[in-house]
A and B are shown apart, each in its own frame.
Chain A
């Protein structure tokens, strides 16, 4: 019931609406009750409404409004990229992106693989059923 992810300086968040949809950003300052100043290594620092952010579990150690180079160094020290890509949320997003970028031949190969996997599962199940019936 208590909140676990707080809006604080250094909180890593995901933009969930707008031009930068899908981008991982760091909250570097709070403007007012509704807006934060966010920054990321490959974008210009800007303000954004909290409603457009989804907070993540990751937090980095920075002071209020750090320089870009300081921010980049802090992100590398905290290993944000790897932590994100190994989290289940991050892994899900990677899979979604991969599925959306499949071309027609890839989709066909996926279909063949799913049929093969289903066949293997059914074979094993049949074996187990046989053992259980015996």
Chain B
């Protein structure tokens, strides 16, 4: 064990001259021509005009990254889903794929129940255990950008026109979207008609009847 650096409170083991020699400041002084090198003081910042009353720490920007939306294990491509909200509430539709935004890509098919190619949130959906074979269906061209709204160019209104109610031109579906629907559904309907009663099933809406206990029903 090394000898203790102090013999008692206030009494050091090594003398002042010994410690001075050990620290070696004399060597640094000699290197810089007799004087200890002075570090340059950074320029003092200008006195701020305003001091806030309370000392508040500035919030650091969040480095949290959102994880990709988890898809329920019961939802696989080809699953029949029951929509629970919105215009097509109760309709049974076919699930195609999950988009990058986390939303589910579905189609009626349109000819069977009037539901077009659409995006839907999985929270508003019941997944049934019925599956349709969609191996022959191509869904690569559909992504979130396909469903983006068209930017409306606002024309400047004169004072008189400002008070008129907006005469919005009824939006017509562009033809290429109608063709996409037809192409997608052609393959899908073939697969659906292969299963007896599946077509009528998809055409019917789901509803709860008297005596139904949804928490006890298996879907």
Q: Which residues of A contact B (CB under 8 A)?
A: 100-105, 107-109, 112
Contacts and interface: CB of A to CB of B under 8 A. Distances in A.
A105 B218 contact: no
B218 A103 contact: yes
A103 B219 contact: yes
Contact of B216 (A100, A104, A109, A112): A100
Given A100-B216, A101-B218, A103-B219, A108 B128 contact: no
A112 B200 CA distance: 10
A100 B218 CA distance: 8
A115 to B, nearest CB: 11
A104 B219 contact: yes
Given A103-B128, A109-B197, 9 more contacts: A100-B218, A101-B218, A103-B219, A104-B80, A104-B92, A104-B128, A105-B128, A108-B197, A109-B201
B183 interface: no
B206 A104 contact: yes
DSSP class of A's interface residues: helix, strand, loop or mixed? helix
Contact of B201 (A100, A101, A102, A108): A108
B200 A103 contact: no
Closest 7 CB pairs of A and B: A105-B130, A104-B128, A103-B129, A108-B201, A104-B219, A103-B218, A109-B197
A114 to B, nearest CB: 13
B82 interface: yes
Interface size grouping (class) on chain B: 10 to 19
A103 B130 contact: yes
A103 B219 CA distance: 5
Interface in B41-62: none
Interface in B159-204: 197-198, 200-201, 204
Nearest to B127: A104
Contacts of A108: 197, 200-201, 204
A104 B208 CA distance: 11
B133 to A, nearest CB: 14
A105 B216 contact: no
Contacts of B80: 104-105
Greatest chain A CB density within 10 A among B129, B201, B204 is at B201
Nearest to B196: A109
Contacts of A112: 197, 200
A110 to B, nearest CB: 11
A101 B82 CA distance: 18
A119 to B, nearest CB: 15
Contacts of B201: 105, 108-109
8 contacts: A100-B216, A103-B218, A104-B80, A104-B130, A105-B80, A105-B129, A105-B130, A105-B198
A108 B197 CA distance: 9
Nearest to A108: B201
